[in-house]
Structure 1
Amino acid sequence: MAKRTTNFGTIRNLPSGRYQARFTINGQRFPAPDTFGSRAAAVDWLDVERARVLTGSWAPLPNNATPPEAVTLADYARQWLDGRELSLRTRAHYERWSGNRFDCDLSPIHEGQTSQRL
């Protein structure tokens, strides 16, 4: 996982082969909302964010975006099953197995919404 610093932020190569970009303002890190398929795409994202910071049109994510909808694991499991071509028996088995086991929240957690205290 090589990490390289650009003029504005850092880009690191993940084990998956994708790239993660982030920049720091006043000691607070702001990662890209997603990973990138190429280093050039990550550099482009950093360039756009740098331009937004310099022009004053940038704001931290909590003030800049609406919070994502909460997704439960049960909802995800249902969507996953609906998107698969399974035999009737396999589908019934998966539905019976999942039952009420998947009742946790899968909504994204953004940096800064968690504490280091356990």
Structure 2
Amino acid sequence: MFKSINYKFKANIEKRERERLYLDTIKALKNAGSDLSKPHHIEHHFAVMHNCNITKMAESLKNEGYEVSEVYEETKEHGEKYYYFDGCKYCLVEPNIIFAESKRMTEIAAAFNEVYDGWGTKVE
């Protein structure tokens, strides 16, 4: 029971931290002159350890209307390889939309035991 409560508490703290970071990012976009009333090209970043998951994740993203970027390969300092790519879509940069999008991206990554690494966009 305590383990479950501790996990939920930690997950809620992480969620609040992510939401605060997303709100800070939205505020920074606005302060930089971005017109938040117009859709922005949002890039959702994924880090993938198992290349067999890339095609499956890309298919899930495409089925939900996302464009999928080129896949890149990197090597960590200790020699382990990983891959990264983006799922992209135009949408308004509003907290409720960004929170929902990010939640969905986290679910997709988790379904394959991979990592959703956040989102980004340009000032538009």
**TM-score, normalised to structure 2's length?**
0.30
Judging by fraction of residues, say which structure has more strand: 2
Judging by fraction of residues, say which structure has more helix: 2
**TM-score, normalised to structure 1's length?**
0.31
Greater radius of gyration (CA) = 1
